[in-house]
């Protein structure tokens, strides 16, 4: 058999990369909010746009042709929740606005477009992310919470600098009617110097972290200004002297 040198093998392997399919772009959406799925259409007359949810079996999400929306065959899952930016189609924008994102909306979408100059297909993956995290303080308790998450999340606390005492937190997870999760966790912050609290909420897909600075609840004596300490001492001495003089005067009479 003829031998192959390294350069020959490289010439055989390198071209294979040109046959590997490119990964679909991804868009991150937040449950119960609106999300824009981008798509471009070729410039030309007679624009036609079809959006499909491929991962759910090519469900028809939205159609546009004859210069208007055509929603007669739209899947019921998307009724009253989709729209195009109509005044931008002529400039090449075929993006889909999806409202009130829910669990069933996750997956792979196809945007099919055509004009008098040709047609094309593009794909995009819709994924969901952790919504905003809220942290607030009530007395000595700090609470971290978030709503509308999927799949079931986990919550962890940390401090900077690290605390020597154990953070005794109480965490509750609630599943809603629309199969989303609300999570809330509270802890009692230890007394001491200022701490930066970090609350992290994560799912198997993504993670989000929010921080909160808890100030000292009581200021220490050594932190008080010297002039204030001196004034307090002088006032106390003056009160004692006045009381003593008054008592002495009454006794003398």
Provide the whole-model pTM: 0.68
From edge to edge, which strands make up the β-sheet containing 68-69? Answer: 26-29, 118-128, 107-115, 48-53, 59-65, 68-69
Question: What integer pLDDT is reported at residue 225 of this predicted model?
Answer: 64
218, pLDDT greater than 60: no
61, pLDDT greater than 50: yes
- Tokens 């002088």, residue located: 234
In the chain the domains, ranked by start, together with CATH numbers, are: 21-128 (2.60.40.10), 134-214 (2.60.40.10)
The residue-averaged pLDDT of 114-142 equals 92
Higher-confidence position of 199 and 219: 199
Kindly report each contact of residues 5-12 with a partner whose C-beta sits within 8 Å and lies 24 or more positions away, as own/partner.
none
**Quick count: other Cβ atoms within 10 Å of Cβ 29?**
19
Give the pLDDT band of residue 22 (cuts 50, 70, 90): confident
105, pLDDT greater than 70: yes
Number of alpha carbons in the 13 Å side-chain half-sphere of residue 27: 21
């Amino acid at each position: 058999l003829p031998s192959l040198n390294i350069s020959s093998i490289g010439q055989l392997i390198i071209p294979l990369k040109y046959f590997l399919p490119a990964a679909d772009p991804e868009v991150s959406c937040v449950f119960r909010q609106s999300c824009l799925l981008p798509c471009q259409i070729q410039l030309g007359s007679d624009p036609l746009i079809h959006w499909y949810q491929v991962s759910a079996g090519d469900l028809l999400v939205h159609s546009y042709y004859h210069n208007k929306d055509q929603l007669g065959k739209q899947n019921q899952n998307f009724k009253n929740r989709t729209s195009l930016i109509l005044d931008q189609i002529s400039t090449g924008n075929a993006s889909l606005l999806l409202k009130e994102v829910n669990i069933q909306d996750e997956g792979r979408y196809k945007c099919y477009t055509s004009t008098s100059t040709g047609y094309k297909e593009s794909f995009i993956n819709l994924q969901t992310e952790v919504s905003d995290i809220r942290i607030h303080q009530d007395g000595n308790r700090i609470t971290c919470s978030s709503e509308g998450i999927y799949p079931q999340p986990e919550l962890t606390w940390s401090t900077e600098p690290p605390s020597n005492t154990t953070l005794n937190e109480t965490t509750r997870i609630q599943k809603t009617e629309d199969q989303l999760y609300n999570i809330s966790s509270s802890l009692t912050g230890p007394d001491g110097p200022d701490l930066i609290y970090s609350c992290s909420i994560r799912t198997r897909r993504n993670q989000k972290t929010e921080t909160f600075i808890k100030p000292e609840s009581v200021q220490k004596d050594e932190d008080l200004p010297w002039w204030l300490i001196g004034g307090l001492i002088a006032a106390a001495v003056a009160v004692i002297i006045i009381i003593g003089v008054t008592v002495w005067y009454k006794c003398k009479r």
